[in-house]
Amino acid sequence: MLYSSFLFTIAAVFPSLSYAIGNNSPAIPGVFEIVSKSSAKYLDVFNHSLADNAGLAQWACTHEPHQRFKLGLCAEISLTI
């Protein structure tokens, strides 16, 4: 469920693309690289930024830290209709 929520967020940023999540960093458990199925490029934090609300881009694979993501729950949202 957590991963599908994360993919939904990515889809909002890049609506025409679909992504696959793979743990390509076995030395760091729980850290993932996210790859576009359509372009085969990796999700990348623009300009290696560490700032909040940093931009995301697609980029060729470098296996550097700005292309690795730790997935986790930020907040739980409950809706009643």
Distance in angstroms (rounded) separating the CA atoms of residues 41 and 60? 5
Structure tokens at 55: 């931009």
What's the pTM value of the predicted model, to 2 decimals? Answer: 0.57
List per-residue pLDDT tens for the chain, 81 residues long. 344 444 444 544 454 555 555 554 445 566 778 888 788 888 899 899 988 888 889 999 998 989 888 766 665 655 555
pLDDT at residue 77, as a whole number = 58
Residues 6+ apart with CB under 8 A from 35: 19, 20, 21, 22, 41, 42, 43, 61
pLDDT at residue 32, as a whole number = 78
CB-count exposure of residue 9 (10 Å: 0-12, 13-18, 19+): exposed
Instruction: Write down all domains in the chain, each with its CATH number in brackets.
Output: 2-70 (2.80.10.50)
